Structure 1
Amino acid sequence: MIRAGIVGGTGYTGVELLRILALHPEVEVSVVTSRSDVGSRVDALYPSLRGAIDTVFSAPDVETLSACDLVFFATPNGTAMLMAQQLLAYGVKIIDLSADFRLKDALEWQHWYGMEHACPTLIAEAVYGLPETHRESIKTARLVANPGCYPTAVQLGFLPLLEKGLIDPHHLIADVKSGVSGAGRKAEMATLMSETGESFKAYGVAGHRHLPEIRQQLALTAKQSVGLTFVPHLVPMIRGIHATLYARLTGDVGSLQTLFEQKYADEVFVDVLPANSHPDTRNVRGSNNCHISIHQPQGQDTVVILSVIDNLVKGAAGQAVHNMNLMFGLPEHTGLNTVALYP
């Protein structure tokens, strides 16, 4: 059994990890931390876990966590980097669901996250945890940087076209909508129901923290720098990411449908829908699946890719468990066979 610890077990991502790991046949959740709930039972805070998780919250102590085989950090940015070196020294593997190790340039990370990086020497070692692009590196990694939710949906949509050089990499557009759980579990005016209900708005147009992460990874695929306009939106739903992606085709591309189907034929969590489909976030809610469809409106040179995920699962906790399965040599779908919730 894999002895797993979760640092930051009281947020939406933390409880989603607990929900998934509670039914994982190869995992024992041995440590769950929360500074504010030390000594309280996890299922007292989350009664949905009654009978599934029999653990008490503890303080985020390196000595306690060192008994784990793997530690998930479901924490705000700036936390994992303070403990990573010590845990790695104990032989503990780490999957960080924050942004601490996603960017390869420490100065750029400081610019976007407003703090100096505490362990820049680990940035080069960290493996970016998108299994569809870094599967082999993840298998041997000690430290995995779990991708952001927006970057996951955007990358999976653009990936097949950039790999083949079929679109202009300098003029990409990602118009992406997210449910309010993407903002985390905190009391904040902007995410109150009375503020988000019956409303729909863009934000971060001048620059969102996920922009450099998306550009970095798309550039690796394209083997050159990319130009990306990324506009996130907040919509009045709890879960879900819907990415509408635009690019200009650069020549005769043949069947786009066939290209995407062949690219993702062996990917257990990426489902290319039939031609002319329109993915719906409700059809991936609670699952680790990404649904994709491809359109070429009026047969012109603009391609439109639609990519939808559950931001808390494929965009966070589910992808982290997928990475864990790879790191420990387990079948990739282990513990992640959940069918989406409907309605």
Structure 2
Amino acid sequence: MTFGESSLPADRFVQPLASSGVSAVGVTVYGCGPDEAVLFRELGPRFGVVPVLVEAPLSDGNVGLVAGNRCVSVGHKAEVANSALLALSRVGVEYISTRSIGYNHIDVGYAASVGISVENVAYSPDSVADYTLMLMLMVVRRAKSIIRRVDAHDYRLQDVRGRELRDLTVGVIGTGRIGSAVIDRLRGFGCQVLAYDVRPRSSADYVPLDELLSVSDIVTLHAPLGVDTHHLLDRRRIGRLKHGAFVVNTGRGALLDTEALVSALESGRLGGAALDVLEGEEGTFYADCRNKPVESKQLLRLQEMSNVVVSPHAAYYTDHALVDIVENSIVNCRESQRGRQDWV
């Protein structure tokens, strides 16, 4: 898809609100990237929304760009400070749509205390599910080592023999839309799939978490990040993992105790890891660091390891998912203000 051109099929949308006689809704969009901007400009009028696009993430210093709008949309790439939430409430903002599934970058409780409701967006789970399977295959087939060798014109096969998914047991932690989509894909490979969730919601074979950790050859994380799931895989649980197991994380970085993971990898106890998210990724992921030092020693160490694949929180990033994200953020904002006749 070329973001400068329309990528939207003609039959994708419901009847546009803009043609129904309902007053337009103003929405200030913070942290808006160029690709999102194209879609907001195209979709906004179709849904009766007038977007004010701000490239910078929300901060105390740019709250004035709300420009009288009562609804804002924010990205997931930067934390939203409580001071910014308070400033938003003081200028009349009542609703925040975060262009993400996770809420961990916003203190939702504090937002509610100052009169602001926060809502996430749904997008195609296939984007992250496909990427998760790709990372699994890369790490069990030692793709990083193979590619590095080929780039250096070393075409030998020593030490790069991989494993087949059909011979492995995969433990899926978190079985919401994304986790369930991962399970659906894994069944096609013929591997045994186990699952853990505090609220079982699919036809998966659910087992206690400690059992899943002890018998799985691959553990993949798809739980939401919250107080109860911070360091869900901590040092103790990483110690319960099967010797030679692989860890895949396309959820949130802090689901995993990175220091404990590095230790287990360095000791040879784990077979490898594939990480699309990382603790402390803010300020590094999504930035061009070619001409400046990377401050995270853990990230640098992980990237050095031949059995670790790292990508910069990219699993969600497909043309289909991006359209879903922008469209649903627009619709959420519109619906939050439906019936308010004082909006123009």
Q: TM-score range by the shorter chain?
A: 0.3 to 0.5
State TM-score, norm by structure 2.
Answer: 0.35
Q: Which of the pair has more CA radius of gyration? A: 2
More strand by share: 1
| Structure-1-length-normalised TM-score | 0.36
